[in-house]
């Protein structure tokens, strides 16, 4: 599945330079992410998702209905986990805390 970074950038009429300045990334780094020559770190994905007001899984090209959203009780970040894994222990990808709660 292909990520949606380029699609969202173009939909919002942004150049690589515009987006790079907005989120603090270099043009060539963003280009590599868009073309999937390089994988962004979780915090970079979150920064891009926040900028476009979408979820990280959506940005990654994953359909949201296949995921459950969790909120970390420790750091406050939200993240999505595959519905298939919902009965397993879920740890926060941001702080590794295992104290998470289900969000609707």
What pLDDT digit, counting tens, does each position of 45-79 carry?
999 999 999 988 889 988 766 677 777 778 888 77
pLDDT computed for residue 104 by the predictor: 38
Q: Is the pLDDT of residue 102 over 70?
A: no
- Give the model's pLDDT for residue 99: 62
| Composition of the chain by helix, strand, coil, percent to 5 | 40, 15, 45
* Paired tokens of 3: 């990520």
């Amino acid at each position: 599945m292909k990520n949606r970074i380029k699609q969202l950038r173009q939909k919002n009429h942004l150049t690589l330079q515009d987006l790079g300045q907005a989120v603090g990334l270099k043009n060539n780094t963003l280009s590599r992410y868009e073309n999937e020559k390089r994988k962004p770190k979780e915090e970079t994905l979150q920064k891009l998702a926040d900028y476009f007001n979408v979820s990280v899984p959506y940005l990654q090209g994953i359909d949201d209905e296949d995921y459950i959203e969790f909120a970390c009780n420790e750091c406050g970040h939200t993240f999505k986990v595959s519905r298939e894994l919902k009965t397993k222990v879920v740890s926060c990808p941001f702080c590794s805390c295992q104290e998470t709660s289900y969000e609707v």
